[in-house]
Structure 1
Amino acid sequence: MADGAAPLSTASGEDRLGALHDDLLHKIITQYLPVTEAFRTAAFSKRWRHLWCSTPLVLRDVDLPEPARDALVPRVLKEHPGHFRSVILSDCRLASLDLELPLWPLVLAEKQTQKLDLVPSQPDTLSRIPAGILRCGSLKELSLGYWALLDLCGVNLSLPNLRRLALVTVFISDEDLEHLISACPVLETLQLNSKRPKHVRLRSRSLRCALVGLSMVEDFEVVDAPLLERLVLFLPPCGNGVSVKIGYAGELRVLGHLNTRFHRLQIRDNVISPDTMASISAVIPSVKILAVTVDFGVLWEVKMLGSFLRCFPNIDTLHIESALHGPSVAASGEHHARFLQEVCSVECLRSHVKKMTIHKFRGDQNEFEFLSFIAVNAQELQSLNVVLQQEIVSSTDDDDMNETRDKLQCLQFRTGISGVLLVLPTMGLLSSVKKATDLTFDDPFRF
């Protein structure tokens, strides 16, 4: 026993652990014990014998001993008499599960499973998803990875309690995706990163957060999502670009990352071009937090940045990721003059933006020209963070770092603030996804 730890029983034989309330014991079993240890609590004491049976099952196959994992998973699913709170299968062979427990999707439904995660850590091929999974009415969270979701339109799907849906590298058609989402009437969070569909049409009366990977998508459209608050686009397309159309999303508050090189933005019926000026029909006034990726060394992208910003007149928090999409244009007086001409007409930069972060800053002259403009013209700016990536800094000599720091300190901001230089590691994709889908994070793009 560790020094200072309270004994489990007193000298008189009093069982302190057994005296704990059932609710607390249930929590200990489900949150702190692997499933094999939780099962053994039935032999711990008379007081604990009913707990395994009455505690909703929390099964993570990685908690089971590896040599017997394929045999133990179907056994646990079959023999546990209570409901299933969470079943996470990432390492057992589903072919073995099909053999040992052919009706396992039915078992999940009968046991009122609330959370199901079927994302193999080492996928081989795309297997066809059992239709019963998509008729498990008790599910509140469902994650599917490396599955083929085929011919769903001909299946009676029903997920009436599902609030979170993650589809990771799945194969699904345009129509089947729409049919699946329509079968989730209370869906709040959608994560989509699929091999198909090529054309994504998002319709949901309940959806609040959508995280969509566009690597294999040709066009993406928010058709009707009246409660959508957060739309996060990640993974640049493999081809020349992707059309991003926002139709009806009256509550949209957080949007990013719009990419000036790869995204062809459309607001309702208005296609946004480098020369687009502000108009009532081409704006989304609800957006408060915007993230944009731009190469400051390419004039065409700078012009596109200006057009993007005009579409969101009420931004108060702006994130700009400085990217190198191609050979940068050398800085010149002509370039700087045209640059300033493009951004000076953006009203939100001058009169609305209060917080700004420049990500992946490298200290190029074109980047500093943008900061110089912000310093002079941003009338409401309250904070500016300039983020250098740790990986870039490690390959930069001290003189370059000191020069970047000195040039930033020399900027005189109209509002009296000073830019803050930060050196941070690049956030991994999994961490970014987790943060983006967590609505308790007000700003998912904040470092």
Structure 2
Amino acid sequence: MAGGAAPLSTARGGYRLSTLNDDLLQEIITCLPVMEAARTVVLAKRWRYLWNSAPLFLKDGDLPQSARDFVVPRVLSEHQGRFRQISLTDCRLASLDRELPGWPRLLADKQTQRLHLNNRLPRNQIDISPHIPADILRCVSLQDLLLGFWTFPVDLSHGVGIFLPNLRELTLLMVIISDEDLEHLITACTALKTLKLTSITPKRVHLRSRSLRCALVGLSRTEDFAVVDAPLLERLVLYLPGTAVRVKIGYATNLRVLGHLDTRVHRLQIRDIMIQSGLQPNTMASTSTVIPSVKILAVTVNFGVLWEVKMLASFLRCFPNIVTLHIESALHDSSVSASAIEPSGEHHAKFWQEVGPVECLRSHVLGKMVIHEFRGDQNEFEFLKFVATNAQGLQSLHVVLQERNTSSADKVNEAKGKLQDLRFQTGISGVLLVLPKEGILSTLQKATDLSFDDPFRF
């Protein structure tokens, strides 16, 4: 090591660590990968006791694949301390059932706090995912539960009891569960703060929770999504739009962050009023069709399709108090008929000239706007002209041109020149940025991290 310092595994290093108290040493051991933590027993007899009694942090990703069938059951059965986190991203269910038949009950008895169980199944075998053990749903100590590629018991609401009073975060990934059982599961988690749903089977997802603050929902298979009763919900992030889906916002008086509403597939309903009917959006706003609590809104729109542009105006009217607006410019959908696309921008210009007032622009509240996936098309600039004319409080406009959409320096300079020609009421100038596209995992991680005030920012 640099400077001739002795490594921690030497006698001198071991002696220095051994001067620490047991509680601190246990915390150090807990932070180590399981194989490294187990090796600490060679340092001294005292370490053997510390390893066995320290809260267990087991991630199968720290183990060689060839050793997982043997090591995971053995560590679970022989460890004497509580289980802080068990993360099996490659859950070997057959070996667990064979080597440690009572492993689900053991997880509950050992007061497991965080549990991640992900079966690794071929995509064409998802419909035969194994059943989740009932004891997992009665692990009282759980605070964080992730289940991937499992099947929930039939008739969960009347069969298997659920008792997860301390669960704060629930993640379901590619699980088979009925509409009714999903609703019952969410309602039964009375301390739930964060919910993540990805590619689950229910066609209908209705949220009822008195504690939920953040929901991240992939809608790839869902046809009917509704926030029925979630008074503490602050953030709702929708992704994987899939096919047409009704998005209903009922009772969510604390909702502050919402996105991405997608004009291509989302049919927005606020309480009992449908904002879109077929291809003709209802453009009239009233007290029954607005959500005043939303401060940050993200919308995806294809500016080349006129009815989507109309839908964008309707969406914006529903949120009069937006402080930050994110618009993602979508690619042309091959399923949209050529007659619906107006690449010249002529019809779009006419629409934006004749459209009625949009309150969020005129109210002096909207201070920041970001256009993502900008391509420099004329129809995008027609929208920006409308913003420049009507936005009475806008303080910053960022136009993000993705690197992959940049064919030449001339295209960038042309877009920059058009942007500078815009005259905003507040005297600002739009800023053109050329940036790489953010990865989906990073985007989703920010979406549920409430320390990020704006999860859509670049």
TM-score, normalising length from structure 1? 0.94
| Contact 2:195–2:216 (CA under 8 A) maintained in structure 1 | yes
| Shift, 1:14, TM fit | 9.4
1:365-380 matched pairs, under 5 angstroms? 365-380=378-393
1:337 to 323, 331, 350: 350
Give the Cα–Cα distance (whole angstroms) in 1 for the partners of residues 353 and 42 of structure 2: 75
Give the Cα–Cα distance (whole angstroms) in 2 for the partners of residues 369 and 431 of structure 1: 32
Give the Cα–Cα distance (whole angstroms) in 1 for the partners of residues 263 and 11 of structure 2: 72
| Contact 2:120–2:149 (CA under 8 A) maintained in structure 1 | no
Identity, in percent, stands at: 66
- Aligned residue identity for 2:17: L
Which shows bigger deviation, 16-25 or 428-437? 16-25
| SS of structure 1 residue aligned to 2:351 | helix
Deviation track 1:150-186 (CA, whole Å, cap 9, x = no partner) reads 3212111111100000001111101110111122100
| SS of structure 2 residue aligned to 1:52 | helix
| Shift, 1:23, TM fit | 3.6
Specify the alignment match of 1:101 in structure 2: 100
**Counterpart check, 1:45 vs 2:58:** no
- Aligned residue identity for 1:41: T
1:23-422 matched pairs, under 5 angstroms? 23-31=23-31, 33-121=32-120, 123=122, 125=126, 126-151=129-154, 152-153=156-157, 154-237=159-242, 239=243, 241-273=244-276, 274-326=281-333, 327=338, 328-342=341-355, 344-351=356-363, 352-393=365-406, 396-422=407-433
| Contact 2:179–2:204 (CA under 8 A) maintained in structure 1 | yes
| SS of structure 2 residue aligned to 1:16 | helix
Give the Cα–Cα distance (whole angstroms) in 2 for the partners of residues 137 and 158 of structure 1: 6
| Contact 1:302–1:339 (CA under 8 A) maintained in structure 2 | no
CA spacing shift, 1:331–1:180, aligned 2, 3 Å: same
| Shift, 1:5, TM fit | 4.2
CA spacing shift, 1:7–1:263, aligned 2, 3 Å: closer
Give the Cα–Cα distance (whole angstroms) in 1 for the partners of residues 71 and 401 of structure 2: 48
Post-superposition, which runs of at least 4 consecutive aligned residues in structure 1 deviate over 6 A? 9-14
Which shows bigger deviation, 120-129 or 164-173? 120-129
| Shift, 1:357, TM fit | 0.4
- Aligned residue identity for 1:307: S
- Aligned residue identity for 1:137: V
Deviation track 1:362-394 (CA, whole Å, cap 9, x = no partner) reads 00001111112222321111111111122222x
| Contact 1:9–1:16 (CA under 8 A) maintained in structure 2 | no
Q: Which runs of 5 or more residues in structure 1 are unaligned?
A: none
CA spacing shift, 1:21–1:227, aligned 2, 3 Å: same
Which shows bigger deviation, 254-263 or 48-57? 48-57
| SS of structure 1 residue aligned to 2:433 | strand
Which shows bigger deviation, 174-183 or 370-379? 370-379
| Shift, 1:267, TM fit | 0.5
**Counterpart check, 1:431 vs 2:434:** no
Specify the alignment match of 2:452 in structure 1: 441
| Contact 2:34–2:62 (CA under 8 A) maintained in structure 1 | yes
| Shift, 1:284, TM fit | 0.7
CA spacing shift, 1:158–1:8, aligned 2, 3 Å: closer
| Shift, 1:335, TM fit | 3.1
Deviation track 1:313-335 (CA, whole Å, cap 9, x = no partner) reads 10010000011243531224443
- Aligned residue identity for 1:379: Q
Deviation track 1:38-68 (CA, whole Å, cap 9, x = no partner) reads 1121221244232112210000011123222
Give the Cα–Cα distance (whole angstroms) in 2 for the partners of residues 11 and 270 of structure 1: 73
CA spacing shift, 1:6–1:41, aligned 2, 3 Å: closer
| SS of structure 2 residue aligned to 1:371 | helix
| SS of structure 2 residue aligned to 1:148 | coil
| SS of structure 2 residue aligned to 1:172 | coil
The alignment yields a C-alpha RMSD, in angstroms, of 2.0
| SS of structure 1 residue aligned to 2:397 | strand
TM-score, normalising length from structure 2? 0.92
| Shift, 1:12, TM fit | 9.5
Deviation track 1:239-292 (CA, whole Å, cap 9, x = no partner) reads 3x1101111001000000111120111100111032331101111100000000
Give the Cα–Cα distance (whole angstroms) in 2 for the partners of residues 253 and 14 of structure 1: 51
| Contact 1:170–1:195 (CA under 8 A) maintained in structure 2 | yes
| Shift, 1:86, TM fit | 0.3
Give the Cα–Cα distance (whole angstroms) in 2 for the partners of residues 403 and 9 of structure 1: 62
